[in-house]
Chains A and B, each alone.
Chain A
Amino acid sequence: MKIHYDVEGGEFISAGVASSKLKKTLKQLGISPNVIRKVSICMYEAEINMVIHADGGVIDVEITPENIEILIKDEGPGIEDLDLAMQVGYSTASSKAREMGFGAGMGLPNIKRHSDGMKIETKVGEGTKLELIFNIK
């Protein structure tokens, strides 16, 4: 099963709509609550990142009997120092993002902790691609 989501940038209020839709779909498919929770946390963190930093992007999800693969792509500014971005507490988020409770520098470390596989490719000025894998069994 393949699902595609478009995420609009700058829409701070509607950020999380794609995550909400995916969560609903996973529930309908009877995926275990523990896996849904992990996917939801990562997807939401990634969606928020995309809205805060990259003016939106696209998310493609593929669900097989074995796993859930999520590909998150944006054409934003890219991440200048990935090692720094992976550190807890490091953030370049705007004050607007902080007003809504984000930008604490927890996003990428939290995604890494809750996914079963994470690959990130980023190029300054071109964008960021994040691949996540979650085992269903």
Chain B
Amino acid sequence: MLVSEIKEILDAEILAGEDMLDINIDYGYGCDLMSDVLAFVRHDIILLSGLVHPQVIRTAEMLDINAIAFVRGKKPSSELIRMAKLKNIILLTTKHTLFTACGLLYKNGLEGEEIAHDEDSL
């Protein structure tokens, strides 16, 4: 799914990376716990989160996550947006809740990380 499609589905505003909306992303992960993101994410995902802390950008950087959608209308600081731009990470913000945003994307074909049947997971 293209990031431009994700933007439409979530009725989202782009905060960073407007020139990168043609990137394709097939998986999504919704979480406010960066510890869990580091532990469970394996694919190239879009991260959906209500956490607007600089460590969200750091976590994305470590895992080569190209796009983050902030939920519940959360908007990060200009410093965080600047950090994302420097690291070529696309930032979106949507007024949907985490549950609804994930549901909308899943319904439209974005896949989730499957960890329930993964023997190698923690």
Contact A44 B54 (CB under 8 A): no
Q: Which of A15-23, A53-61, A69-77, A121-129 contacts B (4 or more CB under 8 A)?
A: A15-23
The 6 closest A-B pairs by CB, nearest first: A101-B34, A104-B35, A16-B58, A106-B35, A40-B62, A100-B53
Q: Can you give 26 contacting A-B residue pairs, CB < 8 Å?
A: A15-B55, A16-B58, A16-B61, A16-B62, A19-B62, A23-B61, A40-B62, A40-B63, A41-B38, A41-B63, A45-B38, A48-B55, A88-B122, A99-B53, A101-B33, A102-B35, A102-B55, A103-B35, A104-B33, A104-B35, A106-B35, A106-B36, A106-B39, A106-B122, A110-B35, A110-B38
With the chains together, A104 CA to B38 CA distance in Å?
11
Task: A40-B62, A101-B35, A106-B36 given; name 15 further pairs at CB < 8 Å.
Answer: A12-B55, A15-B58, A16-B58, A19-B58, A23-B62, A37-B62, A41-B38, A41-B62, A45-B38, A100-B54, A101-B55, A102-B55, A106-B35, A113-B39, A113-B122
Taking the complex as formed, is A13 at the interface, i.e. its CB lies under 8 A from any CB of chain B? Answer: yes
Q: How far is the CA of A45 from the CA of B36 in the complex (A)?
A: 11
Per the CB 8 Å criterion, the residue count for chain A at the interface is 27
Give chain A residues whose Cβ lies under 8 Å from the Cβ of B37.
101
- Which residues of chain B are near A105, meaning CB under 8 Å? 35
1/0 per position for A1-41, CB-CB distance to B under 8 A? 00000000000110110011001000000000100010011
- Chain A positions within 8 Å of B36 at CB level: 104, 106
Chain B residues within 8 Å of A48, by CB: 55
Contact of A44 among B51, B59, B64 (CB under 8 A): B59
B32 contacts across to A, CB distance below 8 A: 101
- Chain B's interface size range is 20 to 34
Contact, CB under 8 Å: B54 / A13: yes
Docked complex Cα distance between A101 and B30 (Å): 13
In the assembled complex, how far is the CB of residue A135 from the closest CB belonging to chain B, in whole angstroms? Answer: 18
